[in-house]
Structure 1
Amino acid sequence: MSALLASAQILKTIAQRVGQAAAWCVVVLVLTVVLDVVTRRFIVLGSTKLQDLEWHLHATLFLLCLGYGYVAGEHVRIDVLSNRFSAKTAAAIELIGAALFILPFCLVVLYYGWPFLASSFRLNEGSPSLTGLPYRWIIKSTLLIGFSTLLLAALGAIAASLATLLGSPPKPEAPHHPQEVGL
């Protein structure tokens, strides 16, 4: 039982750390947007590279924080109902939801994402704009990394749910606000 709980904690911690590191993309994104706005407005110098970088940072932020959002309990659910469930009922619902929906979806994205990434790498794909950013495979790789961390978070949730269903006392809920986790 303790091995199940320890593995759940390790998997969730990995997803949480990736998300916390990716959260720094917000700072770079804000600076990029400010630079883009200032150069467009005051210097009349538009940059396709800056615009490409903005959506790359948006995608990176979103994708690499998927697992963290799940671990932190920020995913979509009906809290009015879930707060009324016993620990075992909530664990059973979490187990079913993660096993039937999150795991298969992540596996499908990862399965079809590899050829998507490999093709981009092989073709040395760049921005469709002539003056855009090169190496589109870098941003496409965040799709696989993001869904891999979501998969790890789901496996951690499944392990924790199994431990609860097998009789281990449930751990306290993860904090629901980023400032409580040290961001």
Structure 2
Amino acid sequence: MTALLASARFLKAVARRIGQVSAWLIVLLILTVVLDVITRRFVVLGSTKLQDLEWHFHAALFLLSLGYAYVEGEHVRIDVLLERFGLKTAAAIEFLGAVLFLVPFCVIVLYFGWTFVERSFLLSEGSATQTGLPYRWIIKTSLLIGFLTLLLAALGVIADSLATLIGAKRKPEPDTHYDEVGL
């Protein structure tokens, strides 16, 4: 029982930490957008590389934050119904949803995503525009990392839900999540 709760805390802490670190991409995204706007507006110098970099940062920010959003309960769900259920019913719904839908979806994306990234790397794929960024495989790798993080978060939520269903007492999670595992 203790191992189940410890593994749930560890997996959720890993997803939280990756989300917290990836949140700093918003600063890079903002700086890139500001630089792009200034160079286009005042220097009259449009840059395809800056525009490519903007969507690269945006995609990485979104993908690397998936696990964090799931662990924190900030993902899309029907809270109107969920708040009416008891703790065990909510845990059962969360468990079934993660086991039947989220984990298989993550596994499928990771399985096919690996080929997607590998092909991009082997072909030295770059931007579709001639003046765009090279090495498209770098941004495509964030797809794998993001869904791997989401899978870890899902496994943590599954372990947590299972512990609730079998009657383990859950400790409230501390406010400083990243201190739990020393990440």
Map of 1:99 onto structure 2 = 99
Q: Distance in 1 between matches of 2:166 and 2:113?
A: 35
Q: Cα gap change, 1:101/1:81 in structure 2, threshold over 3 Å: closer, same or farther?
A: same
Partner SS for 2:168:
coil
Regions of 4+ moved over 3 Å: 170-175
Asked if 1:72 corresponds to 2:69, the answer is: no
What amino acid does structure 1 have at the position aligned with 2:122? R
Q: CA RMSD in A?
A: 1.6
* TM-score normalised by structure 1 residue count: 0.93
What amino acid does structure 2 have at the position aligned with 1:88? K
What amino acid does structure 1 have at the position aligned with 2:104? P
- Aligned identity (percent) is 69
Map of 1:89 onto structure 2 = 89
What amino acid does structure 2 have at the position aligned with 1:163? A
What amino acid does structure 2 have at the position aligned with 1:17? R
Asked if 1:108 corresponds to 2:101, the answer is: no
Unaligned 5+ residue runs, structure 1? none
* TM-score normalised by structure 2 residue count: 0.93
Q: Distance in 2 between matches of 1:8 and 1:147?
A: 18
Give yes or no for contact 1:15–1:152 (8 Å, CA) kept in 2.
yes
> How do 1:32-181 and structure 2 match up within 5 A?
32-172=32-172
In the TM superposition, what whole-angstrom CA distance separates every residue of 1:2-45 from its partner, at most 9, and x where no partner exists? 10000001000111101111100101100100000000000000
Q: Distance in 2 between matches of 1:135 and 1:25?
A: 19
Q: Cα gap change, 1:164/1:78 in structure 2, threshold over 3 Å: closer, same or farther?
A: same
Aligned residues: 178
Map of 1:20 onto structure 2 = 20
